[in-house]
Structure 1
Amino acid sequence: MEPNSQWAQLLKTHYFPECSFLEAKKGGRASWAWASLLEGRKIILHGALWKILNGRQAKLWTDYWIPSLHNGKLHLHLQASVDPNTRVETLFDWDSKTWNLTPIQASITDE
């Protein structure tokens, strides 16, 4: 809730400087407090979905963001090769305020 607080910045600097809390790994020298936070994160993520808003934070292929789909994420065709860091915002046409699935149509299943 307060990513700019002193304790949050300390944790970020020490444990996950190059990613978000949701992507952070435990590491070999994790404190008890850090390991406990990661266990709590598992519980949160079990039922959590991204709220898309502008789509700049949620990853198109790896994050859970589509409530109507099994596991909340897109399902790829077996032969599809995609960039796992592509963000949901790439599918939104801001001028018409509609989704544009054309760029990924060949990579996703009919579901």
Structure 2
Amino acid sequence: MGFGDIQAFNIALLAKQVWRLLHHTHSLFYWVYKARYFPNCSFLEAELGHNPSYVWRSLMAARDIIRAASKWKVGDSKKIRVAVDNWLAHKPVFTGEEQPDMLVSELIDEDTGQWNR
């Protein structure tokens, strides 16, 4: 078929399935994998687990590629963690102790919609 790099092509196809898991949450594909591998969290927070299938391992590898190359669109900022999630062009700089569970919404003044300095 003339594929130059079959491994890169495979990762691209797996990344497409990861995209489906992220955006088509009403599909049978999503619900089967959610029930088996990430029943209590989102796909982005899912762990590899104790007895993963070959397909699940492959999807997790492609998920890491998608995660590294994507950025959050802030919106209401109630799900984006300041220190953990990829939402800035650079890694955030903390003047005090880093708080991994701090949300971006905590940095915004609710009354004015401006950054809370």
| CA RMSD in angstroms, aligned pairs only | 1.8
- TM-superposed CA distance for 1:50, in Å, is 1.0
Q: Distance in 1 between matches of 2:93 and 2:50?
A: 33
Offset from partner CA, 1:41-82 (integer Å, 9 cap, x none):
121122211111110121122111112x2xxx32335x6152
Alignment of 1:1-111 (within 5 A): 1-67=23-89, 69=90, 73-77=91-95, 80=97, 82=99, 84-101=100-117
Structure 2, unpaired ranges of 5+: 1-22
Taking structure 1 as the reference length, the TM-score comes to: 0.73
Q: Higher Cα Rg: structure 1 or 2?
A: 2
Runs of 4+ displaced beyond 6 Å? none
Structure 1, unpaired ranges of 5+: 102-111
Identity %: 33
AA aligned to 1:61 is A
Q: Distance in 2 between matches of 1:81 and 1:75?
A: 9
Q: Tell me how many residue pairs correspond in the alignment.
A: 95
Taking structure 2 as the reference length, the TM-score comes to: 0.70
Larger helix share, 1 or 2? 2
